[in-house]
Amino acid sequence: MADENIRKAAVAGAFYPDNPAVLSKMLAEFFSSAEKRSFVGRPIALIAPHAGYAYSGKTAADGYKQLLGEKYDTVVVIAPSHTVFFQGASVFNGDAYTTPLGEIPIDKELAGKIGSINPIVYMSNKGHSGGAVRGEHSLEVQLPFLQHVLGSFKLVAIVMGEQEESTCRALGEVLVTALTGKNCLIAASTDLSHFYTQKEANRLDKNIQTAIEEYNPDKLLNILASGKGEACGGGPVVVTMFASKRLGGEKVIVTGYSTSGETTGDFSEVVGYLSAIIISSKKAPVSDPAIGARKARAQQELSDKDKAYLLDQVIKTIEAKIDGTKLPDDIPTSKILLEKRGAFVTLKINGQLRGCIGLIRAAKPLYEAVREMALAAAFDDPRFPPLTKAEFASIEVEISVLTPLARVHDIDEIEVGRDGLMIRLDFHSGLLLPQVATEQGWDRKTFLEQTCLKAGLPKNSYKEKNAEIYRFSADVF
């Protein structure tokens, strides 16, 4: 896909860390301190703040943690425009949004449907990357939270250029039409009052919170119109309430509230933040079978020439970094090397591990993933110091190209020697490549236990009800 069709992260390094490891650690800390609420049903919608993570990240995590264990085919994120004014609501017409945690593909079929029902809601890049002096933050900052808790999903990104009642109602109706029968989550992005004293902010924000808790979008519209409460993303919240009610929503749970003063210590001018979820007792619609079919489809095998190219790229990339020369930037002609695949690069010296870093998600073309993981394994593996020029002469290179992850429903599905494992539980995750179990002589039980330990979990955690076990195979060379 062309770069111009991909919305690159605009506020990474400002609103949140641009280093994937630092970002993941920050998110894990937010989630570990958040409470998992007890409720009957499943979230079908969510409201979250969009300030810098230092200010509103904990409150956002209070909401996002309630998605733990849920799976959605597509997440529809609705956000206000802070950077450019335009009429109606703009549905992103590109191929993907990116964050430091990877690329999120746009659900182009669903986005196209949403953008074709009412002329007030249309396909464009307005508010996303078109016509703005700086990149819009309010939608982007939601995405790392979603990636952290959900893993893989498709995205429909909607920015509202204005938030008139007529636009809110039109977008709400469009979403009801487009999302009926689909396994989707709606997420509204908003902060509350801006630059009042703590006491006044609490008073204004309480009015907004009450309307949200009462699940009353008309009351919320009236509060916003009268000035009895403020929310820069009031329109997205109203839309989310309108649509979710018609899609089976029954109850709102406010999961968190805070102000910026709690971070800065200055309570003279604060910004208010709130998170909430909307619950439905209905079972999730059956996922699109085409999604599973695409993942299950056999992938073309790498040729010996492809493998030789990738191994050569690892050596050339590391050598260029050590010598301070230009990194390889040629684009291969082999189509399979242009496919998005997960990959690990392992470095050894005299048969002993010297670095191993990988990309699990198929977020980048294979040749790019291998180059990036080569640098990461050589210089960024926290278990080892950066590779030296003296060591470089002795390194042995191994590349593992991964197949898509497949959920394990019965541990008897796991075959040692064929499968690698990834286990996720309570925001911990660990992965071991297929060859590790073979090299160590492990049986299935030991392989599961060791993967749990790799995730920082007790060794029997794979037996927990909420544990997610995935298997994959790898072409290792």
The pLDDT tens digits for 386-435 are 999 999 989 999 999 988 777 887 888 898 888 899 898 877 888 898 88
Do 46 and 113 lie in one domain? The reply is yes
Do 285 and 403 reside in the same domain of the chain?
A: no
Residue 452 tokens, joined? 């749990």
Q: Tell me the CATH number at 332.
A: 3.30.700.20
> In this structure, are residues 418 and 473 in contact, taking their beta carbons and an 8 Å threshold?
yes
Quickly state the pLDDT bin for 189 (edges 50, 70, 90): very high
Say whether both 381 and 430 belong to one domain.
Answer: yes
The domain that holds 66 is classified in CATH as 3.40.830.10
313, 219: one domain: no
Residue after which a domain boundary falls, among 274, 289, 304: 289
On whether both 236 and 327 belong to a single domain, the answer is: no
In the numeric block, the tokens 């469009």 are attached to 174
Q: In angstroms, rounded to a whole number, what is the distance separating the alpha carbons of residues 444 and 411?
A: 8
- Is 240 in the same domain as 272? yes
pLDDT of the residue at 20:
86
pLDDT for 29: 92
Report pLDDT digits (tens) over 204-249: 999 999 999 999 999 999 999 999 999 999 999 999 999 999 999 9
Provide the residue range defining the domain that includes 390.
295-476
Do 89 and 215 sit in the same domain of this protein?
yes
Same domain? For 282 and 401 the reply is: no
User: Is pLDDT above 90 for 132?
Assistant: no
**Burial of residue 110 (number of CB atoms within 10 Å: 0-12, 13-18, 19+):** buried
Supply the pLDDT for residue 151.
Answer: 81
Q: Tally the domains of the chain.
A: 2
297: pLDDT strictly greater than 60: no
In 3-state terms, what secondary structure has residue 120? Answer: coil
Does 66 lie in the same domain as 154? yes
Cα 303 to Cα 177, 309, 434, distances in angstroms: 47, 10, 20
Confidence of residue 466 (pLDDT cuts 50, 70, 90): confident
Which residues partner with 273 through β-bridges? 258
Q: For strands 102-105 and 121-124, give the pairing.
A: unpaired
- Final residue of a structural domain among 246, 265, 289: 289
The answer on 471 and 331 residing in a single domain is yes
- Per-residue pLDDT reduced to its tens digit, 23-77: 988 998 999 899 999 999 999 999 999 999 999 999 999 999 999 888 899 999 9
pLDDT, mean over the chain = 91
Say if residue 389 is in the same domain as residue 326. yes
Phi then psi dihedrals of residue 176, to 5 deg: -60, -45
Give buried/exposed letters for 209-233 (b at 16+ CB in 10 A, else e): bebbeebbbebbbebbeeeebbbbb
Confidence of residue 156 (pLDDT cuts 50, 70, 90): very high
Q: What pLDDT band is residue 299 in, cutting at 50, 70 and 90?
A: very low
pLDDT score recorded for residue 284: 80
Who contacts 347 (Cβ-Cβ below 8 Å, separation ≥6)?
Answer: 353, 354, 355, 356, 377, 378, 387, 395, 396, 397, 398
Residue where a domain terminates, one of 239, 256, 289? 289
Residue-wise pLDDT tens digits, 303-348: 989 999 999 999 999 999 999 999 888 899 898 899 888 899 999 9
